[in-house]
Structure 1
C-alpha cells in the first residue's frame, strides 16, 4: 500500500514536468557574432567569432565553419576567451552559403549547440540560407536528476548523522542496537554520496560531449572533463574530501567513539567541504551575481540537509521513543527532538531567505514565475516545503497527544513521504532552464512637439561600452519631413552624471550622432532639445533602461 502511494505521488510530480510550459532559456545564448546571422558579405572574412551572454568553458568547445557542400573552411584553431569562441578561416573563400556550427559548455555546466548561417557575394536565384538554430541538450536530464537524488539523499542523511552525535543526542550511555543502526545508516549515507560523486563525472562528461552514458566512459572524454572544465576541477577536490570523510568515519567506528564529539570534527569539516564544492556547480554560476548566488546556494543546501536529515536520523535511530508514552526511550527521543527543533527553526529561516534571494537572482519577473517550467516547479517546491513545515510544527508540539498514536503514526509517514518528494522535485528542478528577460532591444519612441509637428528618437543598439547611434526624425502627421531646426542636441542623464552632444543632418528631417556615454546599466533620462531659427525651443523628454 505504501509503495502504491509513493508511486502515485511520484507520477503526479513527473506529470507536472511534462506539461507544456513556455521555457525561457538562461543557459548561454548568442548576443553577437561575426559574421552575423544571415549576413551577406562582399569580401571573404578572415575569422568567425561568436559572443555569448555569459562565460563559456574551454572544454568540449567546437566551432566548425562549412560551405554548402559540407566542406570545412576553417583552420581548426578554435580559441575560447571569456564569453567568446573564435576560429580563423581559410583565405579567399568563394561566393557561397556558409554555416558556423558551434557547441559550447555554459558556465552552469550545460551543453548547448547551434548554427549561424552567412553568405559571401551574390547567391544564385532560389538559394536559401539555413535557419539559425539553438539547442540545449536535454538528453541527459533523467540521468542528471537521478544523480542529484543520490547526492542530495546522501547529503541529508550524513548531515543528520553528524549533528545527531555532535549536538542533539545526549544520552548517559549508548545502547548496542543504536550503534548497529548507526553503522548501517552511515554505510547507506556514504554509499549514496560515493555513488553520486562517481556517477557525476561520467554524467557531466555525457552532458559535455553530447554522447550516451556508456560512451562517456571513454578515458579521453573523462580526461577532457577533468582537465578543461570547472566541474572536473571541483569533482577532483570533492573526491579527495570524500576519501578523507570515509577514512575518518571508519576511524570513529573502530575506536568506538560515537559519543566523543572531537572525533566528529574532521568528518564534519570534510563533509562541509564537499557541500561547498557542490554549491559552485549549476545555476549560480550563470547568475550575474555569481558570488552571492553561490553563497546562497551553499546556505540553502546546508540548511536543507540539516532540516531533512535531522528528522530522518532521529526517527531511524530512536524509533522506539517515537510512540513511547513514558520511560527512558521516550525521554531520550523527546530531548533529542527538542534539541533538533531549534536547529530546524533556524534552518527553515535560512531556507526561506536563501531561496528567496536565489529566486530573485534567477527569476527576473513575476510573469516568469507563473509562466515558465522553472517558476512553476519552484512554486510546487515551496508548497511541499510549507506542508513539511506544518507537519514538523505539529510533531514538535504533539508530545501530549500520543494517545492518538494512529493519527500521529500516519502524519510521521506523510512528513517522510513529503521529504522524499522534496528531494525528487529539487533534483529535477535544478535541471530546468532558468528564465531570463528578453534580449535588450534598441530604443524607439515618438512624441508630439506641437500641432502637426512630431519627433521620433531611436537609440541603437542601446548597449553599454560601445558606440550607440542616435537618430532623430522630425515629421508632420502625414509623415512628411519638417523644416530644419537651427540645432538639435541630446542630453543624457543618469544620477549625477550628465552629458550632451549635437546631432548632424543626415537627410530630410533626419539627424544622427554617435556617442559612447551609455557607460553603465540602469535607467537613463534622455532629453531632445530643439532650437529653431525663430528662437522657438522645445525640450522633449524620453527615458529607457539599459541592461
Structure 2
C-alpha cells in the first residue's frame, strides 16, 4: 500500500511538473482557405473544421501590415468554426490565431496562414502554453471539489438515510466543512478553467474574461450543477427527516449529473453509454466515500449501537461497489482501447495506480464485512477499534484515489490521442480559381483505403451549394489513369467520397469537377502527396 501511495505522489509531480504544453483533445482537421494557401481576393470568412465540437474562446487576425484585429465575430456549428474576416485586408500574408475549448473542456490553440496574392512570409504557429501555477491550482481545486461532492454530499446522504436516528454533533460540523470546501472549489475551478483556457497567468483570475471563458467551456455547467448539489446537501443537514431525505437524494443525483456533464469519459462515444456510466460511477463513489467519516464516529462512540448502521451501509455498499466497478470497467475499456496503452501513456499509468489503490480498498471493505463487522455483535467481542482503524485506512486510500483522478484533467486518454493523431495525419490540398475554390482532405493521407472530404466555396470563401461534385485522382507516371468518384453531400458545404482506394504513395494529380448550376461547370486541378 505504501508503494501505491508513493507511486501516486510520483505521478502527481511528474504530470504537473513535466512539460509546459497543455495536452488537448480536439485537433484541427482542415481550414478553408487552407493553411499556407494563396487566394486572389480576401475571403469573407475562414472556416476551421475540427475533429470534434468546440467552443470559441479567443480569435484574432494579424494582417500583412502587422496590425492585430481582435474581437472578430466567430460562429460555431458543431465541429466547424466560421470566423468573419475584415474586408479591407491588404495583399500579402495574414495569420488567423485561435483558441477554442474542446468537448471535454481542454483548450487548444493554433494559427492558420493564408495569403492574398503573393505570400509575404508567415508567422510561427503558437502552441498552447500551460502555466504550471495554474495547473497545480486546477489540480488542487479539482481534488477539493471531489472531496466536497463525495465526502460532503455522500456524508449527508448517509446521515439522512442510513443513520437517521443518530445525533450529528461533530460529524455535522465536519460534513458542513466539506460542503463549504466543495462550493469554494467549484467556484475557483470555474475561474481557473477560464485562466487555463485563455493561456493566462493566475493574476488574470480577477478579470471578467477569465470567468466568462471558464463558463463557456463544458466545465461551466459542471461547476454550477455541483454547487447546487452541495447547497442541497447543506440544506439536508437540518430540518425534518423527510425534508433532509429529499434534499440529500437530490444532491446525490446532482453529483452524478455534474460529473457526467463534462470530462474525458463523458465526451467519449457512444455518449448514450458513457454519460450514464459516469453518472452511476459517481453516485456509487459518493455512497461509499461519504459513509466513511460518519462510520468512524459512530463506531467510536458506541460500537454495539452502531452495528445496525454498519450493516445497513454494508448491504447498500454491495450494490454501490458492483455499480461503480462495472461502470468503471466500461469507461476504462472505451478510454484505453488497447492493453498496450496502459503502460504506454500517462493516462494508462494513472489508471494502473488508481486500480492498485482501488483493489486495496476493496480488500479492506471485504475484511470489514466478513470479519470486523460481525465481531461487533459477538459476545465479549471487539470494541470496534480495529474496524475504526480499517475505515481510517479506507479514508486515506480514498483521498489518494481522488488525487490520482484529479490528474486525468492533464492526461488525454488514448482514444483521444488516437483521434487527434488521425486528424493531424490527413493530406490536404487547396484548389482555387478567381470564381470558386475547393479544399480536398484525405483521411488518412496514406496509401490504402481513405476518405475524401471536399469543401466548396466561392472565390471569397463564401458558402456555395453546387449541384454536383466529382473527385478525380490519377498518377500517370505510375500507369494509373483517372479514378473518378462522385461525392455525396455532407452538410451545407461539405462533400464526401467514402472507401476511396489509393494503391501507391507519392504525388497524385487531383481534379475536382464542380457543377455549379445547370449552366456553369468548373474544374480545379492540383496535386496532393500521399504517404506510404
Bucket of the pairwise TM-score, normalised by the shorter protein: 0.7 to 0.9
Cα distance 1:150–1:442, how it changes in 2: closer, same or farther (>3 A)? closer
The yes-or-no answer on 1:287 pairing with 2:275 is no
Larger Rg: 1
The yes-or-no answer on 1:209 pairing with 2:190 is no
How far apart are the structure 1 equivalents of 2:205 and 2:13? 29
Residue segments in structure 1 that go unaligned for 5+ positions in a row: 321-328, 444-455, 482-508, 529-547
Cα distance 1:217–1:359, how it changes in 2: closer, same or farther (>3 A)? same
Aligned length: 456
Aligned to 1:494: none
SS in 2 for 1:155: helix
Cα distance 1:527–1:439, how it changes in 2: closer, same or farther (>3 A)? closer
Which of 146, 167, 170 is the matching residue for 1:152?
146
Give the CA deviation at 1:515: 2.5
Give the CA deviation at 1:246: 3.1
Which of 164, 170, 173 is the matching residue for 1:181?
170
Cα distance 1:465–1:285, how it changes in 2: closer, same or farther (>3 A)? farther
Aligned to 2:329: 356
How far apart are the structure 1 equivalents of 2:470 and 2:127? 27
Tell me whether 46-55 or 197-206 shows the greater mean CA deviation.
197-206
The yes-or-no answer on 1:418 pairing with 2:411 is no
Conserved 8 A contact 1:36-1:116: yes
SS in 1 for 2:114: strand
Q: Which has the higher contact order (CA 8 A, sep 6+)?
A: 2
Give the CA deviation at 1:229: 5.0
Cα distance 1:403–1:267, how it changes in 2: closer, same or farther (>3 A)? closer
Which digits, 9 at most, give the CA deviation of each residue in 1:514-538, with x for residues without a partner? 22369899x969799xxxxxxxxxx
Conserved 8 A contact 1:73-1:89: no
SS in 1 for 2:276: helix
SS in 1 for 2:201: coil
Conserved 8 A contact 1:97-1:120: yes
Cα distance 1:272–1:90, how it changes in 2: closer, same or farther (>3 A)? closer
Give the CA deviation at 1:274: 4.7
The yes-or-no answer on 1:81 pairing with 2:77 is yes
How far apart are the structure 1 equivalents of 2:65 and 2:455? 39
Tell me whether 97-106 or 392-401 shows the greater mean CA deviation.
392-401
Question: What's the TM-score once normalised by structure 1's chain length?
Answer: 0.71
Give the CA deviation at 1:240: 4.8
SS in 2 for 1:318: helix
The yes-or-no answer on 1:300 pairing with 2:281 is yes
Give the CA deviation at 1:131: 4.2
How far apart are the structure 2 equivalents of 1:213 and 1:20? 19
Give the CA deviation at 1:430: 3.4
Give the CA deviation at 1:101: 0.8
Aligned to 1:246: 234
How far apart are the structure 2 equivalents of 1:527 and 1:67? 38
SS in 2 for 1:36: coil
Matches of residues 388-399 of structure 1 in structure 2 within 5 Å? 388-399=361-372
Cα distance 1:393–1:290, how it changes in 2: closer, same or farther (>3 A)? same
Which of 328, 349, 374 is the matching residue for 1:376?
349
Q: CA RMSD in A?
A: 4.1
Tell me whether 382-391 or 91-100 shows the greater mean CA deviation.
91-100
How far apart are the structure 2 equivalents of 1:460 and 1:419? 46
Give the CA deviation at 1:68: 4.5
Which of 284, 294, 311 is the matching residue for 1:313?
294
SS in 2 for 1:51: strand
Aligned to 1:514: 485
How far apart are the structure 2 equivalents of 1:41 and 1:159? 58
Give the CA deviation at 1:214: 4.3
Which digits, 9 at most, give the CA deviation of each residue in 1:291-310, with x for residues without a partner? 43222111111111112222
The yes-or-no answer on 1:439 pairing with 2:437 is no
Give the CA deviation at 1:276: 1.5
Aligned to 2:155: 161
How far apart are the structure 2 equivalents of 1:372 and 1:518? 38
Which digits, 9 at most, give the CA deviation of each residue in 1:59-100, with x for residues without a partner? xx3222213542136893333332222323344644423211
Cα distance 1:432–1:480, how it changes in 2: closer, same or farther (>3 A)? closer
Question: What's the TM-score once normalised by structure 2's chain length?
Answer: 0.72
Cα distance 1:240–1:418, how it changes in 2: closer, same or farther (>3 A)? closer
Give the CA deviation at 1:386: 1.0
Aligned to 2:314: 341
